[in-house]
Amino acid sequence: MNRLRELDFLRGIAIVLVLLRHQYICQFTENMGWIGVDLFFVLSGFLVSGLLFKEFKVYGNIQPKRFLIRRGFKIYPIYYIFNILYLIPILIDGNLKIIPFLSDFTFTQNYTNGGGYLYFASWSLAVEEHFYFAFTILLWLGIKYNKIILNESFEKRNYFQMLIIGMLIFCFYLRLISNIEFPEDVGRNFTMTHLRIDSLLAGVYIAYLYYFRLNVTTQIFNKYKKIILSIALICLAWTPFFDPLTSFFVKTIGFTLLYISFGIILLYFILTPNINKQLNYLCGSSIINFIGKVGYCSYSIYIIHSFVIFYIDIISLNYNLNINNFSKFLITAILSILIGMIMTYKIEAYFLKIRNTIMPSRI
């Protein structure tokens, strides 16, 4: 799949939001910044399922082994190599806890710890890993045994759409039950995969509409564009005013409102033919290009930013540096972006080159 500048721009916005969440400027930015992860989820659901849908359209089948190995070459090297940096201070203190460490190693930290052990933010990577495997294998089985029918012909009853919508509803139900019955389990109610995977499934649904129902989706979206975009704005307007970890509203209805909003924004970006011209007009091409490059490197930036924030805080304390919140944010953001770009263009690119040699893409 060719890279889309506009989607890299959205990724760039998502990682900036995450940086705002984790490096405090004010309560407003801290409260709102967490939604960057949900934007990542919707984008990942769209892009990952889109690769599989495109493969199916070309070949009439998918190869899950090839797909998952290729994903592994992109995800695992950066993740495991740079987890060593987070591990070093723990080893120096002699306080390594084996079970939490193994949870990070096996992408189960969102269940065992409620978040990452080496760095809390890695919980979202666990959610995405679970999604990659579950969706790919289930889609492959569904296609192989004719339980999932993917085609562009109109059907009054489309079971794939019904399945996705049913899973979205079921996930909301699980969130509601979990937060009512186990309100004290604050972290896991925010991070467990079965409570958060609906944002990724929303991306899957949009990918399905894009690859198999493009004409009717475009007609409906264009006809009701103003109303739909107003809904997206309303679904985002509340985000700066709630602490996500402690809010029952956020951890139930709020997550649903977010994927609706980001799904609409994603539809606008992929269905608007002149979207890049609009972005250039609003912000200037240089700014859009830069944010797009940040988005392209967003995975590496996400991996390294907690490490950068941790050591900037240590340096500030050890040398009694009186750095205001905004300056500290700029320092950590710039360093995270620069290191993340080096990681992406040097280390990730090296492993992707190996991947493309031994396991070339089918599409």
Express each pLDDT in 31-67 by its tens digit.
999 999 999 999 999 999 999 999 999 999 999 999 9
Contacts of 258 (CB under 8 A, 6+ apart): 35, 38, 199, 235, 236, 239
pLDDT value at 153 more than 80: no
More confident residue, 3 or 12: 12
Can you tell me whether residue 152 is helix, strand or coil?
coil
Distance CA 250, CA 190 (A): 9
pLDDT value at 179 more than 80: yes
pLDDT value at 156 more than 90: no
pLDDT value at 158 more than 80: no
Residue 154 has a pLDDT of 58
pLDDT value at 210 more than 60: yes
Give CA separation, 49 vs 14, 140, 201, in Å. 19, 12, 9
Mean pLDDT of the chain: 95
Nearest to 231 by CA among 268, 271, 201: 268
Region 124-136 average pLDDT: 98
Express each pLDDT in 237-279 by its tens digit.
999 999 999 999 999 999 999 999 999 999 999 999 999 999 9
Express each pLDDT in 277-326 by its tens digit.
999 999 999 999 999 999 999 999 999 999 999 999 999 999 989 899 99
